[in-house]
Amino acid sequence: MSPPPERTIAAPTRSPHPPTEFVPPPGACDAHCHVFGPAHRFPFSADRTYTPPDSGIDDFERLQDRLGLSRAVFVQASCHGTDNAAMVDALQQGDGRYAGVAMIDESFTDRDIAALHEVGVRGTRFNFVAHLGGAPDLDVFWRLVGRVQPFDWHIVLHFDAKDLPGYDDLLDRMPCPYVIDHMARVPVTDGVDQPPFQALLELMADERAWVKISGAERLTADGSAPYDDVVPYARALIAEAPDRILWGTDWPHPNVRHMPDDGDLIDLLAAYAPDEETRNRILVTNPETLYDFD
C-alpha cells in the first residue's frame, strides 16, 4: 500500500462544541459539506490544487451527532475532481438521509448520470473561482446543464464575488433552479451596498435562485469567530427569499485562514434567523424541497 499523500491544508476541529443557542429540529440538514478520502480508498485527483486530510463519512457522522443534525448534502469538492466515488459511498451509507451534488464532465453517459441520481445526487456543481481553476468552458457548461435536465437536477455555482455581476446573462438563461455557494464569497469589509452583494440580492427576486448562507469563516474580516460582521449579509438574504435559503457548515473547511469550531457555525444561525419558524424553514423545509429526501 502506498503512503497517504502529504496534506497541504489543516484538519477540521475534531471535537466541536454542541449548539448552545437553540436545539436543531428533527430533520435538520447540513446542506453544504464534503467527504475527503480516505485516500487509500478514494484517491484525490492528480491535478488538484490542494490535498486535504482524510475526513470521511465516519468523521462526519460523529460531527452530525455532536451538532444534533440528521440530514446532509455532500457537495463534490475539486480535490476529488469528477471521481464522485467518496461522495457516492457516503450517500449509500445514509439510507436516504443524505443527498449529493456531483461534479461531472462530458465523459459521463446518461447511464452514469442515472446511477448518480439513483443514490441521491440532485445537482451538479461548477467552480468559477479563480484559485480553484477559474471559469469552465461555457460551451461545455451548457451542454452539461442540458444533460442533467431530464433528471430535474439543479446547478450549484461557486463564484468569486467580483465576478458575479458579469454573469447576468448566464443566470438569465438557466433552465432550472440554481444555487449560489457561500453568499457569493462577498468581502464583508466592502459593506452590504457593494455591487456584488446588491447583484446577489437582485438575483433572489428570481424564483430559480437559491443561496447558501454558509462560509462565515471565509467571509469574516479576520477569519475567526464570532463572525458578527457576516450577520447583516445573511439577514438581508433571508429577508429577500426565506423559502430559498440553505445553510451548511462547509465541513471539513478546505482552504480557510482559521479553522472554525462547527458549534460556533450552527450557533451563528440563531443570529441569522432569531425566530424558530425561519430557522426550521432553513434547516428542514427548504432542503426537503430542493433535495427530495426520502
Residue 89 annotated to the active site: no
Burial class (CB in 10 A: 0-12, 13-18, 19+), 111: exposed
Q: Is the pTM of this model over 0.85?
A: yes
Quote the pLDDT of residue 4.
64
Q: Which portions of the chain are predicted below pLDDT 70?
A: 1-4, 131-132, 294
Quote the pLDDT of residue 129.
85
Residue with cell 440530514: 71
Contact (CB, 8 A) for 238 and 273 = yes
Quote the pLDDT of residue 65.
97
Quote the pLDDT of residue 134.
74
Quote the pLDDT of residue 107.
97
The string of pLDDT tens digits covering residues 179-238 is 999 999 999 999 999 999 999 999 999 999 999 999 999 999 988 899 999 999 999 999
Of the candidates 250, 262, 264, 267, the residue annotated as catalytic is: 250
Domain 29-291 has CATH 3.20.20.140: yes
